[in-house]
Structure 1
């Protein structure tokens, strides 16, 4: 599971560099994200623009990261592909997560909030 990250003013942008988050890589994704959120700033934006497929294990891993983050942190999602967005919508997880159209908009909202 390849994840890249870059810190901006008050936020960490984590980009998933894989086309799937599924049962094969869900545990590794969760472990890598925990490392990045444990040492990260209070806002974490997960750029999922390259993720074309998300199964229930992948969704569970994203939710587990949300539950494991520090109480003062937020986990926001960006750039969901249509199939991935549909999973969040059908499970009503789109009401739990802040979802941005793209990573640039998410980071700009961070900058404007400062």
Structure 2
């Protein structure tokens, strides 16, 4: 059964949500709740999605990313994706989400990158 574990860590530069598992129809609601809560509690801040342990994301997960990106803009926060595995990066590329949401090689890069919004 596909599952998703989300752990949240607060850093001085922002909040990191570590995603471990798969984002699909079964887990999209939990993913959405975690991302929106992180964005709302980090107004004018930064939320980094650590995708190094994310094995899969489907269209339902991509929809959540698009909505979260919109929420981040409304909150004047920066949402970034860090360390996606090749398969996840391919999905982001094919859907051009990597042109809308900044993608970084590591969580540290995502936390320290200048806010270019």
TM-score, reference length from structure 1: 0.86
What is the alpha-carbon distance in structure 2 between the residues aligned to residue 11 and residue 76 of structure 1?
11
What is the alpha-carbon distance in structure 2 between the residues aligned to residue 98 and residue 22 of structure 1?
21
For structure 1, the 5+ residue unaligned runs are: none
For structure 2, the 5+ residue unaligned runs are: none
Match in the other structure for 1:108: 112
Match in the other structure for 2:65: 62
What is the alpha-carbon distance in structure 1 between the residues aligned to residue 71 and residue 61 of structure 2?
15
What is the alpha-carbon distance in structure 1 between the residues aligned to residue 17 and residue 34 of structure 2?
10
Match of 2:22 among 20, 23, 31: 20
The more displaced of 72-81 and 61-70 is 61-70
Match in the other structure for 2:39: 37
Aligned CA RMSD, in angstroms, stands at: 1.8
Q: Report SS of the residue matched to 2:53.
A: coil
TM-score, reference length from structure 2: 0.84
The structure in which a higher percent of residues are strand is: 2
Q: Would you identify which runs of 4 or more consecutive aligned residues in structure 1 move more than 3 Å?
A: none
Matched, 1:7 2:3: no
